[in-house]
Amino acid sequence: MAMQFYASPEQIMRDRSELARKGIARGRSAVVLSYDGGVLFVAENLSSTLHKVSEIYDRIGFAAVGRYNEFENLRRAGVRMADLNGLSYDRRDVTGLALANAYAQTLGAIFTEQSKPFEVEICVAEVGATPDDDSLYRVTYDGSVNDEPGRMAMGGQAEAITGVLKNEHRPEMTLSEAVRAAMKALSSVGGEGGAARTIAANQLEVAVLDRRRVGRTFRRVTGAALTALLDGEAEGDVAPAPGRAKTPTVPTEEAKKPTTSAGSADLEGNAEDKPAE
Amino acid sequence: MFTNAGTSSFTTFLSKVAPEMLPGRRPLPPGMAADMAPHATTIVAIAAAGGVVMAGDRRATMGNLIAQRDIEKVHPADAYSLVGIAGTAGIGIELMRLFQVELEHYEKIEGAMLSLDGKANRLASMIRGNLGAAMQGLAVVPLFAGFDLAASDPARAGRIFSFDVTGGPYEETGYDAIGSGSLFAKSALKKRFRAGLSIDDATRLAVEALYDAADDDTATGGPDLTRRIYPVVMTATADGTHRLTDAETATIAEGVVSGRMENPGG
């Protein structure tokens, strides 16, 4: 008969934590920060199709580092939960806090009950009316949740990145300033001998939750728009995605009716098309 | 329940975790129930150059009564498509909301929008799910139209799909109407529709067709000048969906009404 060795619960938890931490530290990092016009996500990602940053709901975004299959599973779960709650109640009743709590429960249960914890760290960000109203929740592999003060970094060497980010970040920065600050923070580590390095624009995954938009606020920033932001040429707004209408500056009439889909609410109130009322 | 690997479809997910939220899954007592709930009436859709126009009147009826004067039956399904509902209003609105979530859900999970045909097929299967209730008089029939981003010719990218109670999407050429006044609206469109209309002309034509429907069908409401209630008119073009403002529809509807002052037949 096989002999069962005794391991103290403390030792088991420590081993699991170590496994998760090591797994997360191997991956590339991501930062999330509030800026004047919304919440910015920047992740170092070599793939343009396997996303680390995604949309969950109207004003909620998701960023993750670690093992792709594990956080992709969590992302899908988040979208399902948000869509189910939004349909059962109202679109306004889907909040980042509820989602962060659900993730904490799931990750906490996996950490204690399963033999291998999820090697992921995730951020649930909700954009508010002003940078002060934004909320960023960090949920870690063991299910602990932290409310972060307007900026956060995840992944390998997150502490060093956070240090740079803390110096660079101001809540009233423009999008271009915020993208460059994030870029500076991400590239401050990982060079030879711990020195800074350069990251090409095509290795960055960038997205925003645009606080001036009504309905679905999530947008990816890619290609020429991203290069322009990194070069500091486009100070203010990002160009709308091809085929999309420009951002209305005032909430449209449709937006006041949250029971209908906001899927295209942001497209219905082209401010420049409307006669002044 | 949320973390199981599986489908990108929200309705399939619902059928597993909350089947009572799907309109077709509720047990109904036997018997006809046709007159117990408000009915939404006429919707028209017209394909124009570079897009499609959909318009609906504002009346809901219950038997011989007007249940609501300002119901909204035309809605955006997603950023590039429109859905209008006729039939039992409550179930129709529920189906329409579910369809909106379905499209948005797929887009978020997969990172790409469904094709226009995919959206129409999805709507068809949702209508099919309601067949039992439809046979007891609680039928819902939608009209679906959208801008096809994959179309080779942008001028012909506006496409219209109609459905019957058993699902079955049928692509329509040029124009279509559904609801109690659809017979009259379609007759009007048959004589006035020309391929390649501009969006503005198609908008006016849609309001004219609804006027003709209201003229001959008591369940369809005409432009209500005293209460300032006008048809809901939406367009789907390469720029996305757009709802005409009340001021814009008021101008069009008043133009149609003043035209009919001189010639009631239009």
Q: Can you give the CATH number for the domain in which B51 is found?
A: 3.60.20.10
CB pair distance less than 8 Å for A267 and B97: no
B18 touches chain A (CB under 8 A): yes
pLDDT tens, A64-112?
999 999 999 999 999 999 999 999 999 999 999 999 999 999 999 999 9
Q: In what order do the strands lie in the sheet with A38-44?
A: A151-154, A30-35, A38-44, A204-210, A218-221
More confident site: A247 or A84: A84
Q: Which residues of A touch B149 (CB under 8 A)?
A: 243
* Partner-chain residue, chosen from B101, B111, B238, that has the shortest CB–CB distance to A51: B111
The answer to whether residue B143 scores a pLDDT higher than 50 is: yes
pLDDT tens, A127-151?
999 999 999 999 999 999 999 999 9
DSSP string, B44-77: EEEEETTEEEEEE---EEETTEEEESS---EEEE
| Angstrom distance (rounded) from CA A177 to CA A13 | 41
CB pair distance less than 8 Å for B76 and A83: no
CB pair distance less than 8 Å for B2 and A254: no
How far is C-alpha A251 from the geometric centre of its chain's CA atoms?
A: 24
Q: Quick check: helix, strand or coil at residue B186? A: helix
Identify whether B6 is part of a domain: no
> Nearest-CA distance from A9 to chain B in Å?
27
What pLDDT is stored for residue A1 in this prediction? 62
The residue in chain A having the minimum alpha-carbon distance to the alpha carbon of residue B93 is A260
Report which DSSP code applies to A148. Answer: E
Interface-testing mutation among A89, A93, A122, A267, with chain B (most B C-beta atoms within 10 A): A267
B97 touches chain A (CB under 8 A): yes
CB pair distance less than 8 Å for B79 and A264: yes
> B40: which strand partners?
B60, B87
CB pair distance less than 8 Å for A76 and B3: yes
If you average pLDDT over residues B245-263, what whole number do you get? 95
Find the chain A residues whose C-beta atoms sit closer than 8 A to any C-beta of B. Answer: 49, 51, 54-56, 73-74, 76-81, 83-84, 86-88, 102, 106, 216, 243-245, 253-254, 259-261, 263-265, 267-268, 270, 273-275, 277
What pLDDT is stored for residue B5 in this prediction? 64
Q: Which residues of A touch B78 (CB under 8 A)?
A: 261, 263-264
* CATH of region A32-239+246-268: 3.60.20.10
Closest by alpha carbon to A139, among A129, A128, A148? A148
Strand A218-221, strand A204-210: pairing: antiparallel
If you average pLDDT over residues B145-156, what whole number do you get? 90
ipTM: 0.90
CB pair distance less than 8 Å for A83 and B105: yes
Identify whether B162 is part of a domain: yes
Q: Quick check: helix, strand or coil at residue A235? A: coil
- Inter-chain contacts counted by CB atoms under 8 A, chains A and B: 104
Closest by alpha carbon to A266, among A198, A219, A217, A207? A217
Identify whether B12 is part of a domain: no
Q: Quick check: helix, strand or coil at residue B29? A: coil
Contact criterion met (CB below 8 Å) for B220 and B180: yes
> Nearest-CA distance from B79 to chain A in Å?
4
The position carrying tokens 């038997």 is B63
The answer to whether residue B263 scores a pLDDT higher than 50 is: yes
Closest by alpha carbon to B78, among B237, B240, B187, B221? B240
The structure tokens listed for A98 are: 């509820």
Identify whether B235 is part of a domain: yes
The answer to whether residue B6 scores a pLDDT higher than 80 is: no
Identify whether B26 is part of a domain: no
Domain of B63 in residue numbering reads as 37-262
CB burial string B192-206: b at 16+ within 10 A, e below = bbeeebebebbbbbb
Percent of the residues in chain B that have a pLDDT greater than 90, as a whole number: 73
Q: Which residues of A touch B239 (CB under 8 A)?
A: 243-245, 267, 270
| Angstrom distance (rounded) from CA B210 to CA B194 | 17
* Partner-chain residue, chosen from A259, A267, A270, that has the shortest CB–CB distance to B79: A267
Identify whether B31 is part of a domain: no
| Angstrom distance (rounded) from CA B22 to CA B8 | 17
B41 is catalytic: yes
What pLDDT is stored for residue A157 in this prediction? 87
The answer to whether residue A176 scores a pLDDT higher than 90 is: yes
* Partner-chain residue, chosen from B21, B109, B240, that has the shortest CB–CB distance to A267: B240
| Angstrom distance (rounded) from CA B263 to CA B266 | 6
> Nearest-CA distance from B115 to chain A in Å?
15
B113 touches chain A (CB under 8 A): no
From chain B residues 237-256, the ones with a CB under 8 A of any chain A CB are 238-243, 245, 247-248
A223: left (phi over 0), alpha (psi -120 to 50) or beta: left
* Sequence spans of domains, chain A: 32-239+246-268
Per-residue pLDDT band at A195 (split at 50, 70, 90): confident
Identify whether B32 is part of a domain: no
Report which DSSP code applies to B238. Answer: T
CB pair distance less than 8 Å for B245 and A56: no
How many distinct structural domains can be found in chain B? 1
What pLDDT is stored for residue B203 in this prediction? 97
Identify whether B258 is part of a domain: yes
CB pair distance less than 8 Å for A273 and B242: yes
The answer to whether residue B172 scores a pLDDT higher than 90 is: yes
> B20: which strand partners?
none
What pLDDT is stored for residue B1 in this prediction? 66
More confident site: A250 or A44: A44
Alpha helices per DSSP H over chain B: 10-17, 89-110, 116-128, 131-135, 182-192, 199-216, 246-262
The residue in chain A having the minimum alpha-carbon distance to the alpha carbon of residue B95 is A87
| Angstrom distance (rounded) from CA A75 to CA A147 | 19
* Partner-chain residue, chosen from B18, B80, B247, that has the shortest CB–CB distance to A84: B18
Interface-testing mutation among B242, B246, B248, with chain A (most A C-beta atoms within 10 A): B242
Closest by alpha carbon to A165, among A149, A145, A186? A186
The structure tokens listed for A12 are: 């088991």
Per-residue pLDDT band at A236 (split at 50, 70, 90): low
Catalytic residue among B41, B88, B220, B249: B41
- The full length of chain A comes to 277
* Partner-chain residue, chosen from A87, A253, A264, that has the shortest CB–CB distance to B78: A264
B79 touches chain A (CB under 8 A): yes
Tell me what the pLDDT averaged over chain A comes to.
84
Measuring CA to CA, how many Å separate A163 from each of A96, A167, A168? Answer: 26, 7, 9
